Amino acid sequence: MNIELKAETKEKMQEIAKDCNLPIERACEIILSQFASIVGGRVYTGRWREGNGIYFIVQWPFLTGMAKVTGEELAKMIEVKQR
At residue 5, does pLDDT exceed 80?
Answer: yes
Interval 30-83: pLDDT, tens: 998 888 887 788 889 998 888 888 988 888 877 676 777 788 887 877 776 676
**What residue ranges do the domains of the chain occupy?**
7-82
Please tell me the pTM assigned to this model: 0.67
Residue 54 contacts by C-beta under 8 Å, 6 or more apart in sequence?
A: 45, 46, 47, 48
d(CA 48, CA 46): 7
